[in-house]
Structure 1
């Protein structure tokens, strides 16, 4: 173990923040898992805690393995990963999964493991790497909009479009992050305005159809409509539609300044998804406003270190890569917290490194590993030097 710790590279502050968040997660997960045991009659609290621990352990193995990969290798690897993830997203739509009796084809089972893999989480990481690679290539050149359609916007549209039928909120988030990434990466603003305007028009048309011809959309459209209507007009919504939001608000209100104490939450047994999507509400109920702000501080600290790493990276690709895979982690955390306090409608986004989950933990760890790879000072000379033409992946990357 000591030898393993000595081989850790990259930003030590990020290692510490990630480790602290992971260790803290055992407390709210163990507490909230009683909802699964006594309400949903699923396993025991110890079994859920062990499962969470195993997923985190494997996640940290992913972090360790990925952070040893030189950053410029991801330029070539993403050329292989992008077509694979498009196939996986398409296949996911054919695997029938239900949430509350409504079709939600988001997962594919991993054989012999007993864990379901949510392909959209991997697609987000792959797409951000793809965008970083493209933007780093055109950084010093002038391009026309038509030149960027195939290499940039086609992959973005395909990924978002394949996620949309089963997961509207994730598709919207991925689309927004792609636009933000292009803005930060120096993509011409005049073209970005065209894309944004087109997106607004298409979103308006989609919402019009959603509220006036819901039956023409996928099965999940009814859920999307209900969530938006409940958020916009909670006074007109049914008791069932507002129960989850009201239970979350009650948990937050009962937490007060210092909370009820670890494991003493009352709302965890009535709040749906208290162990995953709404675990932040349980954290505030048990640890109070102080605990909630403390958790927010660590995510802000993680964001600060991500910006520091991006700023100190020597290559344009490394800078964009860190921003591209790092920002979604913190962005997802903010959305999860905003949903709990009713600033956003319910989206189904877990709290990174805290929520009980499956492969979402692994994909967060994958992104963290990439950030740590870019922060490794021992790789700076490799990243800033010319790519070895004997590496076929890098040759292909350069040609494309």
Structure 2
């Protein structure tokens, strides 16, 4: 164990928080899985727990592997990754799977494995790295809006256009996070204002076209509108989203200060997404306000570490990577919590590192691995310098020892100890 810990690089506080959140997730996921087992009649609680363990184990392998890679390599990978994710999104849009009889065109099946994969989360991660790369590249150059339109915004809007028909909440999160990142990267505000205006116009046009031709493309516009209307009206009817919100509020109200205790949730039997989208409500029901505040504290502490490391990063690209990949993790967590307490309409965003689900965990782990790669740079330089110094000192000691041996042999030769002398005397 000590050997493994000694091989971990980067911000140790980030490592500790990530491990704690992963450990915390096991009890809520195990408890909430009874909904799938006893209500839906699918699988076993131990099976879901083992599945969650495997997802997290693979996630930590991803973190360990990614954080060993020098972060500047991700510049080139993002350029290659953009066309790849666009092709994947196109494929997903037309070949998305059906889950539980419902359209789930944000998912595809990985061949020969049978695992569902949400391509929009991969696109999100690669796009943020790509935007950070572009902003770092042009930071000390003069460029026009037309230049940035082709190289920066064309890939961004291409990804958004492909994610939007199946997942409005993720599209909105991606667009807002990209705008936040370009603002931090000192992109001209007048250009950013034009982009935001163009985005609003494009969204309005898409909604109008989708309403006019509802069968022309796979879309969920009616679902978006019903969710917003339900949230604004505050009415509870038989619609699925209203039902889930009502059950989540009952769970939160039942938890009170101390909660009902681990595994004692009642509402997990009524919440369809109790182990993923609404797992925060189950945490509050079982662990009360204390559990809710603890979870919130860990995410806010992680947010503070992201800010500190972004300020300490030695390059602009490193700073933008931490902001672009770290802040969305925190905002996604806050959105998930806000939905559970009905501060926001239902979005379908999971609670990072806690909710069950392979794709969301793995993409979060990739982001954390890249962030740790940025935070480890100064530390590794110091370690490399120390190791180099130690090697030089060891080499110098070997050279000095060889010189001493050589000097002794020379002195013996001067005294006439020639190994050929007995033969010559014969």
TM-score, normalised relative to structure 1: 0.91
Alignment of 1:139-158 (within 5 A): 139-158=139-158
Is 1:317 the counterpart of 2:317 in the alignment?
yes
Q: State how far apart, in whole Å, the 2-side matches of 1:214 and 1:309 are.
A: 47
Q: Which residue of 1 aligns with 2:330?
A: 330
- How far 1:94 sits from its partner (Å)? 2.1
Deviations 1:183-233 (A, max 9, x none): 111101110011112222333444556678756663422222221221111
Q: State how far apart, in whole Å, the 1-side matches of 2:374 and 2:231 are.
A: 40
Q: State how far apart, in whole Å, the 1-side matches of 2:156 and 2:245 are.
A: 32
Q: State how far apart, in whole Å, the 2-side matches of 1:111 and 1:218 are.
A: 23
Q: State how far apart, in whole Å, the 1-side matches of 2:382 and 2:292 are.
A: 41
Alignment of 1:153-232 (within 5 A): 153-207=153-207, 218-232=218-232
- How far 1:2 sits from its partner (Å)? 3.0
Aligned partner of residue 95 in structure 2, secondary structure = coil
User: Cα gap change, 1:240/1:369 in structure 2, threshold over 3 Å: closer, same or farther?
Assistant: closer
Is 1:372 the counterpart of 2:372 in the alignment?
yes
Q: State how far apart, in whole Å, the 2-side matches of 1:100 and 1:228 are.
A: 24
Q: Which residue of 2 aligns with 1:131?
A: 131
CA contact (8 A) 2:262 2:286 kept: yes
Q: Which residue of 1 aligns with 2:235?
A: 235
Aligned partner of residue 94 in structure 1, secondary structure = helix
CA contact (8 A) 1:181 1:324 kept: yes
Is 1:286 the counterpart of 2:315 in the alignment?
no
Q: State how far apart, in whole Å, the 2-side matches of 1:206 and 1:328 are.
A: 25
Aligned partner of residue 20 in structure 1, secondary structure = helix
Q: State how far apart, in whole Å, the 2-side matches of 1:210 and 1:55 are.
A: 36
Q: State how far apart, in whole Å, the 2-side matches of 1:212 and 1:100 are.
A: 28
CA contact (8 A) 1:185 1:320 kept: yes
Q: State how far apart, in whole Å, the 2-side matches of 1:226 and 1:101 are.
A: 20
Aligned partner of residue 346 in structure 1, secondary structure = coil
Q: Which residue of 1 aligns with 2:342?
A: 342
TM-score, normalised relative to structure 2: 0.86
Between 210-219 and 4-13, the greater mean CA deviation after superposition: 210-219
Please give the root-mean-square deviation of Cα atoms over the aligned residues, in Å.
1.9
| Number of residue-to-residue matches in the alignment | 382
Q: State how far apart, in whole Å, the 1-side matches of 2:79 and 2:213 are.
A: 39
- Structure with bigger gyration radius: 2
Q: State how far apart, in whole Å, the 2-side matches of 1:163 and 1:355 are.
A: 22
Is 1:54 the counterpart of 2:54 in the alignment?
yes
Q: Which residue of 2 aligns with 1:103?
A: 103
User: Cα gap change, 1:187/1:379 in structure 2, threshold over 3 Å: closer, same or farther?
Assistant: farther
Alignment of 1:78-97 (within 5 A): 78-97=78-97
CA contact (8 A) 2:227 2:241 kept: yes
